[in-house]
Amino acid sequence: MKTRAAVAWEAKKPLTIETIDLEGPKPGEVLVEVMATGICHTDAYTLSGLDSEGKFPAILGHEGAGIVREVGAGVTTLKPGDHVIPLYTPECRNCKSCLSRRTNLCTAIRATQGQGVMPDGTSRFRCDSTGASPGANTVYHYMGCSTFSNFTVLPEIALAKVREDAPFDKICYIGCGVTTGIGAVIYTAKVWPGANVVVFGLGGIGLNVLQGARMVGADKIIGVDINPDKRAMAEKFGMTHFINPNEVGSDKVVQAILDVTGGGADFSFDCTGNVNVMRQALECCHRGWGESIIIGVAEAGREISTRPFQLVTGRVWKGSAFGGARGRTDVPKIVDWYMEGKINIDDLITHTMPLEDINHGFDLMHEGKSIRSVVVY
């Protein structure tokens, strides 16, 4: 079939809207009509060319919601008409990782996903309008999702079935940002009531960490951002104290946090992807037990560092992917929380736009003017 998609032909270039050839689902795969997709900072990171797994041309996008239109042979858990959220972290329930119950990092299809292809090693996307010779017109999948295409194909294990009364233009955000932020608090860090929490980077992820911290009853919830315009929204989502490194001096941020918390944070979260900030996030943690969770994605080649003494004296450095959530199990529950009014998504979606304006969504993110832009097909 033909479908409309925003294609990333090469790094650092705007996306262009193309008519793409999409092959139908092979065994174990599902054809999904994407109804809405958010634009996450990770899409911009890959488009910047600094993602070591970035492949071009590709159809980016990994924060979507849609409807199953066709299922391939052997698919048993989904049928046409089902409402779904694509999962860049699938849940096969069969691999060593899934069976361990110790991680959400399912390994069933991770290798091919990183290569921009389906589990059989081939892409379902082709763009014949390039004029390239047959076979040279492959367009790659991205994070196994490619939600910047109106129709896409995913493995059955990479789809969470969700309730049908939930609005696509809001729950698409649960496909990454909401689950990543709230999940990092409840599944990865297991923040306890009364804990002091620090969040570095008050964007689409950090604001969800804030609302997760408020949900579990954290005490002080400190936000750190270089953009003072993020303050009002952060306060709405539970922030009790704000620190702007440009005002206090970036070398004084850690001390400022030690002062506010009376010795250090119980939990800190990096939602910037900046390795210098990650160091501050660790070092502002309380001696003996403070835990710092890295959520931000850093460019290829960047490394984190600290004095080992920081760890010897009890601070813990951890990371979190997709908030530690098991997609097929946890995502439908998070959709329920939204529908029951337990979490706020609406206020974080600051802009919606048609696919034709998707580059504007990236501009708004880079200018710090949006929290989440959502493309509605």
Which region, judged by CB under 5 A, interacts with Zn ion, from 4-12, 40-48, 181-189, 240-248?
Answer: 40-48
Instruction: Determine which one of 106, 127, 145, 285 is catalytic.
Output: 106
- Say whether residue 322 binds ligand NAD (CB under 6 A): yes
143 is an interface residue for Zn ion by CB under 5 A? no
What secondary structure letter does DSSP report for 132?
P
Judged by CB, which is closer to ligand NAD: 146, or 274?
274
Rounded-to-integer distance, Cα 297 and Cα 282, Å: 16
Closest residue by beta carbon to ligand AHE: 42
Asked whether 59 and 141 are in contact (CB, 8 A), the reply is yes
Residues that bind ligand AHE (CB under 6 A): 40, 42, 51-53, 89, 105, 110, 176, 297, 321-322
Q: Is 285 a catalytic residue?
A: no
Structure token digits, residue 266? 């119980």
Site string for ligand NAD, 147-176 (x = CB under 6 A): -----------------------------x
Q: Which residue among 29, 51, 82, 225 contacts ligand NAD (CB under 6 A)?
A: 225
Sheet architecture: strand order including 291-294: 241-243, 221-224, 197-200, 267-270, 291-294, 316-319
- The listed partner (ligand AHE, ligand NAD, Zn ion, none) that binds 167, CB under 5 to 8 Å by sort, is none
Residue 110 binding partner per list Zn ion, ligand NAD, ligand AHE, none, with a CB distance cut-off of 5 to 8 Å that depends on partner kind: ligand AHE
Is 95 in the active site?
A: yes
Choose the catalytic residue: 98, 145, 172, 271.
Answer: 98
Q: Are 307 and 330 spatial neighbours (Cβ–Cβ below 8 Å)?
A: no
CB of 261 to ligand NAD, least distance (A): 18
- 55 CB contacts (<8 Å, ≥6 apart)? 115, 116, 140
Question: Quick check: is 40 catalytic?
Answer: yes
Query: Does residue 226 touch ligand NAD according to CB under 6 A?
Result: yes
Burial class (CB in 10 A: 0-12, 13-18, 19+), 353: middle
Decide if 141 is catalytic. no
Residue 318's alpha-carbon distances to 98, 151, 201, 269, 321, in angstroms, are: 19, 36, 17, 9, 10
- Residue least distant from Zn ion (Cβ): 40
- Which of 326, 265, 267, 256 lies closest to 293, judged by CA? 267
**Which residue is catalytic, options 127, 145, 172, 176?**
176
User: What letter would DSSP give residue 311?
Assistant: H
Helices within 173-307 (DSSP H only): 177-183, 206-215, 231-236, 245-248, 253-261, 275-283
Query: How far is residue 3 from each of residues 67, 82, 152, 277, 368, measured CA to CA in Å?
Result: 15, 20, 9, 41, 31
Binding residues for ligand NAD restricted to 261-300, rule: CB under 6 A? 271-274, 277, 295-297
Q: Which of residues 62 and 286 has its CB atom nearest to ligand NAD in the complex?
A: 62
Instruction: Give yes or no for residue 182 binding Zn ion (CB under 5 A).
Output: no
Closest by CA to 175, choosing from 70, 54, 323, is: 323
Is 360 considered catalytic here?
A: no
Task: Tally Cβ neighbours within 10 Å of residue 351.
Answer: 17
Binding residue for Zn ion, selected from 36, 71, 176, 285, defined by CB under 5 A: 176
Q: Which residue is nearest to ligand NAD (CB)?
A: 203
Which of Zn ion, ligand AHE, ligand NAD, none binds 274 (CB below 5-8 Å, type-dependent)? ligand NAD
Nearer CB in complex with ligand AHE: 87/162: 87
Tell me which of 42, 188, 240, 272 is the catalytic residue: 42
Of residues 18, 29, 63, 156, which has the active-site annotation? 63
Point out which residues bind Zn ion (CB under 5 A). 40, 42, 176
Point out which residues bind ligand NAD (CB under 6 A). 40-42, 45, 176-177, 180, 200-206, 224-227, 230, 245, 271-274, 277, 295-297, 320-322, 365, 368
Active site members = 40-42, 62-63, 92, 95, 98, 106, 110, 176, 372
